[in-house]
Amino acid sequence: MDGRAALALPPDAFRLAAAREAIASLGLVVSEAEGIIWHMLDFRLTDHPKARATAYRKNGEQLSAEEKRALGLRSNAYLSRRAFSEITSKGMASPLEAHEKVLLRASFSLFRYLVIQNPSVIDGHEVNYLFDVLNIACPVCKPLNGTTISGNDAPMFALPGCECETANFGYRAYVDWLANIE
Ligand SMILES: [Zn+2]
């Protein structure tokens, strides 16, 4: 999905698309968890996804100490029955992080969406967006770092072949103030 398609969606529909993309890409939680991921994916960005996902697994009836032990978790770890029921077999490799990683990936999508809401022109200067790549080990993201793209064309989700678990690339508004000076 590019920026043009994302901005054509109502914000809550984009939130749902971001939750679904993260769930499908990571495979750590079941698709039935899209409602809770959507709910935790808040536009107000008041706290870190890690804090939100932790609060979620702390809330409600917890697995017994014996059940936690069987999963390789410490007895004082928090994992509610509801959160546990949403974790896939792949996610069980690290059950305390399954929701958190999905939420983090969806949050990076939301950040990108929020950044491109800026006006595309400032005082006659076109605003583009600079790729800000955090994981330069990724063969797809690395060459993009420092390049610019229009908001309409900016990918909202990870590009094909991207190896970044949370697709943690971002955009920064960029204006070439010297573009029209001769
Ligand atoms: Zn990547």
Upper half-sphere CA count for residue 110 (Cβ side, 13 Å)? 25
CB 109 within 8 A of CB 156: yes
Q: What is the pLDDT of residue 178?
A: 73
**Would strands 125-132 and 148-149 be described as parallel, antiparallel, or unpaired?**
antiparallel
The residues spanned by each domain of the chain are 3-111, 119-175
Does the reported pTM lie above 0.95?
A: no
d(CA 70, CA 6): 43
CB 7 within 8 A of CB 117: yes
Distance 137 CA to ligand 1 centre (A): 8
d(CA 98, CA 111): 20
Distance 146 CA to ligand 1 centre (A): 14
Q: What is the pLDDT of residue 158?
A: 95
Distance 141 CA to ligand 1 centre (A): 4
Q: What is the mean pLDDT of residues 126-149?
A: 92
Distance 165 CA to ligand 1 centre (A): 8
d(CA 85, CA 107): 23
- With b for 16 or more beta-carbon neighbours within 10 A and e for fewer, the 154-176 pattern comes to bbbbbeeebebebbbbebebeee
d(CA 169, CA 57): 27
pLDDT tens digit sequence for 55-72: 999 999 999 999 999 999
Distance 78 CA to ligand 1 centre (A): 31
